[in-house]
């Protein structure tokens, strides 16, 4: 899962992120989340294929999400503790479904990704406890826990790599999965509040 365009002019920012995140750290955790959601969605669809469901009203789903509208530069700056700007917008190297904010010195980043799925069943079938355990296995130096009050359910992952700490929140709301990663981060509560803000900005269903 590519979170930003590495061919764009902001390669220095990508390098700074790579230096503070180990291969089994933040980027791997985001990829793990995507794989878990996809796997659950596939399993859920195949199991339903052999069953004739009773007629039921169709749930209203969110059809599209712009990650940069979920978290503004001001929101991201508050969570990061320093001023960050929309790197994708300033460089013209935007990635669909993701928004990348960075500080002027490229040492602080806030990544926001929003994934929209065809149905809410894939997200609903994922156990927060299972996801937390999977994140912990991905990087033994990090800690993962289920957090409440953010969307339908959410998992928080904190890690330290090369002396720099980071926090990732994976929040589920209806048929959308939001992934927010802040590095460095010394205040997980600020990142949790950022995730709540992101969820509150989702289109209503």
Number of domains comprising the chain: 1
Residue with tokens 């190297």: 93
Please tell me the predicted confidence (pLDDT) of residue 132. 76
Residue 112 included in any domain: yes
Please tell me the predicted confidence (pLDDT) of residue 14. 37
In the 8-state DSSP scheme, what is residue 142? S
| First-to-final CA distance of the chain | 27
Contact yes or no for 156/169 (Cβ under 8 A): yes
How far, in Å, CA of 57 to CA of 186, rounded?
45
Residue 79 included in any domain: yes
Please tell me the predicted confidence (pLDDT) of residue 87. 86
How far, in Å, CA of 28 to CA of 6, rounded?
16
Side by side, the strands of the sheet bearing 143-147 are 85-86, 98-102, 109-116, 176-183, 164-173, 153-161, 143-147
Domain residue limits at 131: 11-48+61-200
Residue 6 included in any domain: no
How far, in Å, CA of 62 to CA of 173, rounded?
10
Please tell me the predicted confidence (pLDDT) of residue 128. 77
Single pTM value for the model: 0.73
Residue 180 included in any domain: yes
Residue 65 included in any domain: yes
Please tell me the predicted confidence (pLDDT) of residue 185. 86
Residue 3 included in any domain: no
Please tell me the predicted confidence (pLDDT) of residue 38. 52
Tens of pLDDT along the chain (205 residues)?
444 333 333 323 333 333 333 333 444 455 555 555 455 444 444 444 455 555 555 567 888 899 999 999 999 999 999 999 998 766 655 666 789 999 998 889 999 999 888 888 877 777 777 877 777 776 667 888 899 999 999 999 888 766 678 898 999 999 899 999 999 988 999 999 999 999 999 988 6
Please tell me the predicted confidence (pLDDT) of residue 59. 62
């Amino acid at each position: 899962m590519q979170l930003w365009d590495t061919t764009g002019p902001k390669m220095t920012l990508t390098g700074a992120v790579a230096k503070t995140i180990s291969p089994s750290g933040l980027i791997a955790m985001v990829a793990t989340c995507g794989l878990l959601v996809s796997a659950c969605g596939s399993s859920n669809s195949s199991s339903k294929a052999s069953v004739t469901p009773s007629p039921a009203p169709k749930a209203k789903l969110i059809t599209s999400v712009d990650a940069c509208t979920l978290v503004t530069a001001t929101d991201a700056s508050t969570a990061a503790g320093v001023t960050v700007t929309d790197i994708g917008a300033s460089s013209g190297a935007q990635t669909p479904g993701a928004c990348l904010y960075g500080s002027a010195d490229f040492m602080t980043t806030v990544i926001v990704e929003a994934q929209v799925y065809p149905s809410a069943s894939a997200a609903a079938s994922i156990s927060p406890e299972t996801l937390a355990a999977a994140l912990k296995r991905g990087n033994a130096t990090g800690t993962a826990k289920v957090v409440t009050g953010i969307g339908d359910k959410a998992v928080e992952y904190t890690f330290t790599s090369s002396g720099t700490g980071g926090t990732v929140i994976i929040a589920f709301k209806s048929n959308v999965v939001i992934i927010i990663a802040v590095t460095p981060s010394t205040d997980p509560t600020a990142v949790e509040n950022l995730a709540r803000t992101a969820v509150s900005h989702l289109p209503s269903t």
